[in-house]
Amino acid sequence: MEAIRTVTVLGIGLMGRPMAENLLKAGFAVRAWNRTRAKAEPLAALGARVCDTPGQAAEGADCVVTMLEKGPVVTEVLFASDLPSKAAPGTLVVDMSSIPPSLARDHAARLAERGLAHLDAPVSGGTAGAAAASLAIMVGGAAADFARAQPVFAALGRATHVGPDGAGQMTKLANQAIVAITIGAVAEGLLLASAGGADPAAVRQAIAGGFCDSRILELHGQRMIERNWVPGGKCSIHLKDMDTVLETAAELNLDLPLTKAVRQQFAELVADGKDQADHAALLLWLEARNGPYRVGNLPDRFAS
């Protein structure tokens, strides 16, 4: 099994850029492509080669990492660009985007026909995890390909092999459902405490370490108290993922009532123009239903 030395990153956005930076720090030769080239240009100063097309970036690479917005975009980049004609047989394609499990399985089969290996490896941890190289990486695909990709994953976070093609995406859907429901629970708890006269910042500190403690309480709870809606994970992206959760659940004949309820809250928040806000801004939907109660007295902070 040949070691991976050259890694292509397709998609240099909020997540892709810090991931590419960490791959450079780990000693990989990195090639970068983004539809808007200007977003990838800063990586050149760090030693990356910025390319004009996906195929140009993939040519000669051992591993191609995709971190793109949604399934149709991944399909377009993998199959409707110059990538299939430029990537060498045996190249490992690691899709770290969040897409439907059925689409991940389709991509794996189509790439195999072209002699390319595939792992679906979505992540959790947001921009903070991407920057700190502490992402939770959920990987579906062949065990041998997972083993081959370990050095790449080690530069980005902690990877777990969860099953065959599509299993990584299925795990991400479980993650997104749990995250969304927990954000809603934290928002309701902090608003309840605030309306009842308690200091929400002190409440968060008091319950940390107890049964309800979580990364959501730690990070998103802090965002709610600071009223910081500059996105780490956008409401629009989480709504997209919740739609995928429910579509997949329907295929499995599952009824997920909590997921349905929180998905509707995100849909109303996005319709209200908060699509680019961090998903912790679900608190704003709750406060709109419960005025004049509010968590804290700080002004709301959105991305400029």
> Catalytic amino acids?
172
CA gap 264, 113 in Å, rounded: 40
Q: How many CB atoms lie within 10 A of CB 41?
A: 14
39, 66, 104, 113 alpha-carbon torsion, rounded to 10°: 130
DSSP state of 91: P
40 token code pair: 């990838």
CA gap 26, 12 in Å, rounded: 18
Contact of 29 with 4, CB cutoff 8 Å: no
Q: Please give the full DSSP string across 208-271, using - where no structure is assigned.
A: TTSTT--HIIIIIHHHHHHTB-S-SSBHHHHHHHHHHHHHHHHHTT---HHHHHHHHHHHHHII
| CA 25 vs CA 20, 43, 119, 143, 212: distances in Å | 9, 12, 23, 26, 36
Contact of 229 with 302, CB cutoff 8 Å: yes
Report how far Cα 112 is from the mean position of its chain's Cα atoms. Answer: 25
102 token code pair: 């059925």
CA gap 302, 94 in Å, rounded: 33
Beta strand 92-95 with 63-66: parallel, antiparallel or unpaired?
parallel
H/E element, 106: helix 101-113
